[in-house]
Structure 1
């Protein structure tokens, strides 16, 4: 890729460009997609902020569309300088945009080497319209290469496309990563015809397929079969904990879900999970109880996330959150140190609440 730096400001099409502007478009597109991906992982995600990033991202992608093939030196140089998820997104997006099979094959190999399940490559597949990637996805989804099958079914997941009879094979794929994404897709598509395969997958030897089989069964209305696995993953505290918590609450009758969370509240290790779950019940009367939890450093981030889920309008109010927990006292400083953790300011949230929702206060959920 180093040779890309030395190419002139005209590519194969001899389209004149302003190199500095095209470079800026490439760098900004990579940065903005990475920012978008990170925002999507937030709990809960700020959809308004993501929408704003999307508009800026599309503006920069338009600049690269205009530049055409002459943008490739800058796209390649961006990945060479910083081979992360945003730059991989850009590389793959450009290859698809230009219908450049050689570059797309390179992007696939770059994704294979990535340490994050090729998030940037999968993001590029999701960003393009299905017709732009349909031929490649059809080839990948039945390929002997497990990584290509993973890409193919991930693209279907990103676009909500049903691979029909192929999915019944993919949920039993030899590769655990393919099985996991396929089981998730089966749930997203509400493939009730695969219910037996989903139940069988609850006994899978790998955690990810087991979890997504449980999640999918909940989507199909069979959460009674999946509750134990979902609760285990939620309490485990891994990257799927919040998704598992939401599914576990959905899987059980409300009375049972509240009783389970009441049990979680009794242990310091699991109490923050119960505080977070309070925001998933849809009961706004727990607001004052949440404010009380915000005064405890161990519970504050979960209480803040629950607040934003129940009251999205709180994002627009100034002063309800701080990125400097040390402002809130020694107990917060002892727990968070110098880390920039977004936590609610209980006193400010209380004032905001009292001015908008006067009335009786509720106890614990």
Structure 2
């Protein structure tokens, strides 16, 4: 009884406000940083994992702080309604099972036209934690809720079963595109006809992901034209479209297509990047020469890292100062912060690598 009485009449837990504020700010910053790194070409999984570990430490701090963190979360979201801040608000609301907070955070995201952070919050929680929310959202009248429901399924590789048949025909283009992507990822061959029908959609993104899904099912020939068009369009989804095009093959035709792209300075970067996706290390001498050409140098660096991911540990192979590659590169990139490979260093490294036992 004494221990129970001690618990009942214990003084309230003291919270160090400044520490809680730092946890809130760091969690938002780290998740946004991690998300940005995930969009790199190609992404550095080791860096992403390290940032994730640091993020989890700060989320543990917010778990301990509980409701005492909300004033800092609210103030941060009001001042900086960006993806990292929405991640923290969404994560906190779900963590505490606060339905009103979940709803108000979604409303705020709707006003800010920002949903990446909320999708990230859903991906960070285990499926059991968000299951009921997601089931309700998948059948909601609200397009944003349906989108978030599909995003959660995609993050956890969960199959919505029969619901996905309706979602791949969703009237909201973003939800439909994401649903088609999920269907391809899950290898839902029963939805192949819906994917093929979506190839006639008016929305470019819907057509792209319908084609991508078909290629995942082994029907890349049905989507080849659309995927190649998307790969050279310069949109945010151009890279997965290029990867799907290369994967769909046949390799001889893909190489011929990439060769044609090399004839134009506008499409040559796409060709160089695509050649790296063929996973053929014999192209390295050719790729090193492309590193010397400013208009394809960035793509050549990305292609090299795809062929030699172990090279990431060799800091002397890369630079973020274009001037190191000469005045022409300096003029082309200006003040941009870009990662470029140093061709001479890469060549010497590969020679040493080939001599290793």
| Aligned residue number for residue 362 of structure 1 | none
Give the Cα–Cα distance (whole angstroms) in 1 for the partners of residues 14 and 244 of structure 2. Answer: 53
Deviation at 1:343, TM superposition (A): 1.0
Question: Which residue of the partner structure matches residue 316 of structure 1?
Answer: 313
C-alpha distance in structure 1 between counterparts of 2:113 and 2:294, whole Å: 32
1:249-288 matches, cutoff 5 A:
249-288=246-285
Question: Aligned partners of 1:358 and 1:335: how far apart in 2?
Answer: 36
In structure 2, how many angstroms separate the alpha carbons of the residues matched to 1:154 and 1:77?
27
Counterparts of 1:188-337 in structure 2 under 5 Å? 188-337=185-334
Secondary structure of residue in 2 paired with 1:298:
helix
Contact 1:183 1:198 in 2 (8 A): yes
Counterpart of 2:315 in 1: which secondary structure? coil
In structure 1, distance between residues paired with 2:226 and 2:290 = 28
Supply the distance in 2 between the matched residues of 1:27 and 1:40 (Cα, whole angstroms): 20
d(CA) in 1 for partners of 2:116, 2:41: 18
The number of aligned residues is 346
Residue aligning to 1:29: 27
CA contact (8 A) 1:15 1:70 kept: no
Query: RMSD of the alignment, in Å?
Result: 1.3
TM-score (norm: length of structure 2): 0.95
Q: Secondary structure at the match of 1:106?
A: helix
Give the conservation status (yes or no) of the 8 Å contact 1:323–1:340. Answer: yes
Aligned partner of residue 67 in structure 2, secondary structure = helix
Partners of 1:34 and 1:95 in 2: CA distance: 18
1:113 Cα deviation from its structure 2 partner: 2.2
The normalised TM-score by structure 1 is 0.93
1:185 equivalenced with 2:182 (yes/no): yes
Structure 2 gaps of 5+ residues are 1-10
Instruction: Measure, in 1, the Cα distance between the counterparts of 2:183 and 2:134.
Output: 17
Shift of 1:78: 1.7
Q: How far apart, CA to CA, are the structure 1 residues paired with 2:173 and 2:95?
A: 31
Q: Is the 8 A contact 1:160 1:189 kept in 2?
A: yes
Shift of 1:227: 0.7
Provide the C-alpha distance between the structure 1 equivalents of 2:66 and 2:86, rounded to a whole number of angstroms. 18
Q: Which residue of 2 aligns with 1:156?
A: 153
2:134 to 134, 137, 148: 137
| CA shift for structure 1 position 40 | 0.5
Off by >2 Å, runs of 4+ in structure 1: 113-116
> How much does 1:14 deviate?
4.4
* Deviation of the 1:327 alpha carbon: 2.3
Q: C-alpha distance in 2, partners of 1:338/1:234?
A: 27
Indicate the residue corresponding to 1:342 in structure 2. Answer: 339
1:16 aligns with 2:14: yes
- How far apart are the structure 1 equivalents of 2:43 and 2:14? 40
1:67 and 2:65 are equivalent in the alignment = yes
Compared CA separation, residues 14 and 107, structure 1 to 2 (3 A): farther
The 2-side partners of 1:298 and 1:40 are apart by 24
- How many Å separate the matches in 1 of 2:184 and 2:13? 47
CA apart distance, 1:86: 0.2
> Using the alignment, how far apart are the partners of 1:328 and 1:145 within structure 2?
51
| Residue matched to 2:75 | 77
Q: 1:173 aligns with which of 170, 190, 193?
A: 170
Is the 1:235–1:273 Cα contact (8 Å) retained in structure 2? yes
